[in-house]
Structure 1
Amino acid sequence: MLYKFKLLKSLTRSTLPFLLEPGDQRDQFQLERYRHLYRLTTCETEQLVTLWILFIVTIAGNATVLFSTWRRKRKSRMTYFVTQLAITDSFTGLINIMTDIIWRYTGDFMAPDIVCRVVRYFQVVLLYASTYVLVSLSIDRYHAIVYPMKFFQGERQAKVLIGVAWSLSFLFSIPTLIIFGKRQLSNGEVQCWALWPDDSYWIPYMTVVAFLVYFIPLIIISVIYSIVIRTIWVKSKAQAVMISSCPGGKTSTGYTRRGFISRAKVKAIKYSIVIILAFVLCWSPYFLFDILDNFNILPETKERFYASVIIQNLPALNSAINPLIYCFFSNSLCPPFEERRAQRLGGTFRDRSDGRQEMQVLSKPEYI
C-alpha cells in the first residue's frame, strides 16, 4: 500500500512503494519548497503519531480476529476468508506501516540494496493480496448464493481461490525487484527509490498497476455482488408464497423469506459487502488522487499538499477498520452486538416448541 505521491517525496518517506515519486529537478525544487512548510505545520509529527495509532489498532485488532477464528471449534468457509483477510492486514501493519515508521526516524535508507528490493517487493505483494483476497471472497459468496448445491460439494474451492489470489500477488509484484533499488537522490539523501532513467516511465507503470490493483478488481466485485443481490431478490419473490405458509413466515431450519437462503449466508453477504465498501472508501481517494497527480492535472497549491497528507493514510486505515467490521458481525467477538440480536430474536424462540427452538439454534453454523 503505497501511500505517497510525487509531491511528498522525502517529506513523507512512505515505504508503500509503487505510487511513489519521480526525481527530476522540478520535483526536487518543489520538495525543498514544501519541506519548509512541512516543518512549520508540524505535519511530520502528526503523521508519525497517526502511523503509530494505525499500527497499534491494525496489529491489535487483527490479532484479536485471528485468535477468535483460531479458537472456533466449527470453522466455516467464511471463517477461512476472514482469517486470510486478517493475515493480510496483519502483515500490512508489520511490513508496510512499521517500515514507514522506522524510515521516518532514520531518514536515509541504511540497509543494503537487496533489503530495499525485498521490502519493496513484499509491500507490493500485500497491496495486491489485500485486493485479490476480497475478489476471492466475492467469488465464493457468489457460488454460495447462486449455486448452493455445488457450493456444499466443493469445499476445496476456498483454498483454491486464496491460492490463486496469493500466487497472482507474488507474480504481479516481480517487476518491483527490478524497478526499485538503493540510490542517492539529487538532494543527497540515500533512499530505497525507483531506478527510472526518465520520469515518463511513471505514467504507464502507474496506470497499469492502478488497473490491476483497483479498477479491474472493483469491476469484478461490483458485477458479482450485483448478481448475488439480484439472485437473493428473485429467490425471495419465487418462494414468498411457500415460506409464508409456515408459522411466522419462517421454517424450522433457520431459513427466511429470502428464498431458502439461510440467515447465516445473508449475514455473510452483508459482512462481505461492508468490507468491500470500506475498501472502496479507503482506496478510491488515493488512486484517483494519484492518477490525477501523475498526469499533472492537480494544481501546485498548499491545499493539494494538505489533501495528499490526509489521503495517503487512508489505505492504512482500511487494514485497521476491517477488524472492527468483523467485530460488529461476529457472534462471539463482540457480545454487546450479539446480545441485542438475541433480544430481537428471543420472542420468536419463546413462541415455539422446545424441539423447534432447538433446531433454530442449531441452524446458525455459518455465522461469521
Structure 2
Amino acid sequence: MSGNWSIVQLAPPPPNSSQFPPLSDWEAPSFTRAAQFRVGATALLFLFAAASNLALLASVWRGRGRRLASHLRPLILSLAAADLIMTFVAMPLDAAWNVTVQWYAGDALCKLLCFLKLFAMHASAFILVVISLDRQHAILHPLDALNAHQRNRRMLLLAWSLSLLLASPQLFIFRAIRADVADFIQCATHGSFSRRWQETVYNMFHFITLYVVPLLVMSCCYSRILLHIHLQHRRNTAGESYLRRSGTDIIPKARMKTLKMTLVIVLSFVVCWTPYYLLGVWYWFQPAVLRATPEYVHHFLFVFGNLNTCCDPVIYGFYTPSFRADLAACCRRRRRRGETRDAAVPSPDRLGPHSGEHQAQHATNNQEGD
C-alpha cells in the first residue's frame, strides 16, 4: 500500500486528495510484488504471533505461569492481550487491505478497525511503560512489595483507559470515500482536515504518544535501575553493609532475571518500531520522499514492526522455565493422543495374515447382499 502515510497505516491515497496529482494523472494502486511479499510475511507472523501469545496467555492464566508473583501476572497478561489485539485486528486488516487495495468493508468497519488498530498500538506501548515503572519500583524500593499489586492494577487501568481515549479520534476522522470518476473506494482521512499541517500535527501527536513518550519513560526507568545497580556494586566493593538476600547477590536472582527479561522486551519494541516511525516522520515533513523510496522498503519496515508481537512471548519463554514446561507438557499430551488414536485403529498385522482377504470378502458379500 502506498501513498497517504499516517501513524496508523500506509493506505492508498484517495484520488481527489490535494496532496497528490490531479485525477487525470492519478493511477489506482495495484497488488504489486512488494505488496504480495508483505501479505505473505504478515500471514506467517500472524500464525506465529497467534499461537505463541495464546500459549503465553494460557500458561500465565491457567498453567505453571500462575506461580508468578501476583503483581507480575497482570502485567504479562495485559501485554499478551495487547499483542493478541494487534495480531487479530491489525495483521488481518493489513493483509486483506493490501490484497483488495481499495476498501470494501463499508464506513462503519472503516472507523472501527482503524480505531482498534491504533488502540492496540497504544496499549502495547503503554503496558511496556507500566512494566518499566514496576521494575524501577521493585529495584529501587524492594521493601515496598506489599503495595505493588494495587499499584500495578491502577497503572494498567490508566494505560488501557488512555489507549481508548487517544484512539477515539479515529472514529471521527476516518471514513469510506468514493471517487466516482475512478470507481475507487478508500478508507482514509481525506476531508477531515482543512489544511495539511493539521493532519501533520495529528500524526505527530500520535507519534509522540506512541513512541517518544514511552521511549523516554522507559529509558529513564532503566537508566535509574542501572545507576542504582552500579552504586550498589560500588558500595559492595567498598565494604559497606546493606540489605540483600545472600552474601554475594546485590539484587536477588529472581528479581534480576525478571529485570533482564523486561529490558529485552523493551529493547525489542524499540528496535522493531524505530525504523517505521522515523520513515513516517520523514514523510510527514517531506511527502516526496515516499515516491523516492522503493515500495518494498515501506512494506518491509511495517512487517518488521509487526515482528514485535512475536518477540514478546519468545523472550518471555526464554527467561521463564514454567512457560517452556507448559509448552513441553502440551506437546506430550498431543503426542499421547496421537498414539492413542493409532492404537485404537487395528492394523492388518494385528488381525492376522489373512485379515485383509477376510475383510475384502466380507465387504464383497455385503455388497452382493444389498
- TM band (smaller chain): 0.7 to 0.9
1:225 to 222, 226, 230: 222
1:69 to 60, 67, 70: 60
Partner of residue 213, structure 1? 210
State the Cα RMSD in Å. Answer: 3.0
CA distance in 2, matches of 1:108, 1:200: 26
Structure 1 pair 334/256, CA: closer, same or farther in 2 (3 Å)?
farther
Partner of residue 320, structure 1? 310
2:37 is equivalent to residue 46 of structure 1: yes
Displacement after TM superposition at 1:113 (Å):
1.6
Equivalence map 1:136-155=2 (5 Å): 136-155=130-149
Structure 1 pair 19/158, CA: closer, same or farther in 2 (3 Å)?
farther
Q: Is the 8 A contact 1:134 1:276 kept in 2?
A: yes
Structure 1 pair 193/44, CA: closer, same or farther in 2 (3 Å)?
same
Is 276-285 or 77-86 further displaced after alignment? 77-86
CA distance in 1, matches of 2:308, 2:165: 24
CA distance in 2, matches of 1:305, 1:101: 16
2:151 is equivalent to residue 180 of structure 1: no
Structure 1 pair 106/298, CA: closer, same or farther in 2 (3 Å)?
closer
Percent same amino acid at aligned positions? 24
Is 146-155 or 293-302 further displaced after alignment? 293-302
SS of the residue corresponding to residue 149 of structure 2 reads: coil
Q: State the Cα deviation string for residues 236-257 of structure 1 (Å, max 9, x = none).
A: 332457799xxxxxx8x5x464
Size of the aligned set, in residue pairs, is: 315
Displacement after TM superposition at 1:7 (Å):
5.9
Amino acid at match of 2:184: E
Q: Is the 8 A contact 2:5 2:283 kept in 1?
A: no
Partner of residue 248, structure 1? none
Amino acid at match of 1:262: P
Partner of residue 257, structure 2? 267
Structure 1 pair 212/26, CA: closer, same or farther in 2 (3 Å)?
closer
2:273 is equivalent to residue 283 of structure 1: yes
Partner of residue 162, structure 1? 156
Displacement after TM superposition at 1:104 (Å):
3.4
Amino acid at match of 1:125: F
Bigger Cα Rg: 2
CA distance in 1, matches of 2:102, 2:291: 27
Structure 1 pair 26/121, CA: closer, same or farther in 2 (3 Å)?
closer
2:86 is equivalent to residue 89 of structure 1: no
Partner of residue 354, structure 1? none
2:230 is equivalent to residue 237 of structure 1: no
Q: Is the 8 A contact 2:86 2:120 kept in 1?
A: yes
Equivalence map 1:5-154=2 (5 Å): 6=3, 17=8, 23=14, 24=17, 27=20, 35=29, 39=32, 42-70=33-61, 71-72=63-64, 73-76=66-69, 77-154=71-148
Structure 1 pair 312/32, CA: closer, same or farther in 2 (3 Å)?
farther
Q: Is there any run of 5+ residues in structure 2 with no aligned partner, and where?
A: 329-370
Q: Is the 8 A contact 1:298 1:304 kept in 2?
A: no
Amino acid at match of 2:301: I
2:200 is equivalent to residue 203 of structure 1: yes
Structure 1 pair 99/230, CA: closer, same or farther in 2 (3 Å)?
same
Q: State the Cα deviation string for residues 171-213 of structure 1 (Å, max 9, x = none).
A: 1112111111111147432122113344343211111111111
Amino acid at match of 1:149: L
Is 180-189 or 234-243 further displaced after alignment? 234-243
Partner of residue 343, structure 1? none
Displacement after TM superposition at 1:228 (Å):
0.8
In the superposition, the TM-score normalised over structure 2's length comes to 0.76
CA distance in 2, matches of 1:269, 1:106: 44
Q: Is the 8 A contact 2:12 2:29 kept in 1?
A: no
Is 127-136 or 142-151 further displaced after alignment? 142-151
Displacement after TM superposition at 1:131 (Å):
0.3
Q: Is there any run of 5+ residues in structure 1 with no aligned partner, and where?
A: 10-15, 245-250, 339-368
Structure 1 pair 148/300, CA: closer, same or farther in 2 (3 Å)?
closer
2:187 is equivalent to residue 192 of structure 1: yes
Q: State the Cα deviation string for residues 312-343 of structure 1 (Å, max 9, x = none).
A: 212211101211111111112236xx9xxxxx
CA distance in 1, matches of 2:36, 2:260: 38
CA distance in 2, matches of 1:17, 1:6: 13
Amino acid at match of 2:120: L
Partner of residue 294, structure 1? 284
CA distance in 2, matches of 1:323, 1:116: 30
Partner of residue 355, structure 1? none
